């Protein structure tokens, strides 16, 4: 991937413009096409894989086997002190800056001899919005 091509530029640009979203490869492919791009499905997969390996994007597993989700990482360094909260209901991923995470990692290391991987750990639950909706149902 040392060459700069139209396809890779469109893909990366699209991911950057959707930093707040987490999308499956299929969604990325579909929306790029809606926007007039002609990138092939294979190319989307190949780039997502590459970008993930480089740490430029994040990868989440969905739990219902409907494919992995990807999301652009704005500032890789900044995410070391993040929680990643994922809502089981709406699927939204919430980045949360918080020092409590450091305390947690410290505690787990000291008390449980376990080295927390901030990048991979995702805290599952239900967000405020969905919690409110749940009660109506």
> Which residues contact DNA by CB under 7 A?
1-8, 24-26, 38-43, 45-47, 49, 65-68
Least distance from a copy of itself to the Cβ atom of residue 63, Å: 6
Give the C-alpha separation, 135 to 124, whole Å.
19
* Three-state DSSP state, 104: helix
Q: Is 96 in the site for a copy of itself (CB under 8 A)?
A: yes
Give the C-alpha separation, 79 to 73, whole Å.
8
104 binds, among DNA, a copy of itself, none (CB under 5 to 8 A by kind): a copy of itself
Give the C-alpha separation, 97 to 56, whole Å.
19
Least distance from DNA to the Cβ atom of residue 68, Å: 4
Binds a copy of itself by CB under 8 A, chosen from 65, 75, 77, 136: 65
Beta carbons of 118 and 101 less than 8 angstroms apart? yes
What is the side-by-side strand order in the sheet with 57-60?
A: 23-24, 69-72, 57-60
Least distance from DNA to the Cβ atom of residue 84, Å: 18
Least distance from DNA to the Cβ atom of residue 9, Å: 8
Closest CB to DNA among 41 and 82? 41
């Amino acid at each position: 991937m040392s060459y700069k091509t139209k396809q890779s530029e469109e893909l990366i640009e699209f991911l950057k413009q959707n930093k707040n979203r987490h999308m499956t490869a299929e969604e990325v492919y579909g929306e790029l096409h809606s926007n007039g791009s002609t990138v092939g499905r294979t190319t989307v997969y190949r780039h997502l894989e590459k970008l993930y390996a480089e740490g430029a994007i994040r990868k989440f597993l969905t739990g219902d086997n409907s494919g992995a989700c990807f999301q652009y990482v704005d500032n890789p360094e900044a995410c070391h002190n993040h929680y990643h909260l994922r809502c089981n209901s709406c699927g939204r991923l919430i980045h949360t800056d918080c020092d409590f995470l450091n305390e947690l990692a410290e505690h787990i290391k000291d008390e449980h001899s376990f080295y927390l991987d901030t990048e991979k750990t995702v805290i599952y639950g239900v967000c405020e919005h969905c919690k409110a909706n749940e009660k109506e149902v």
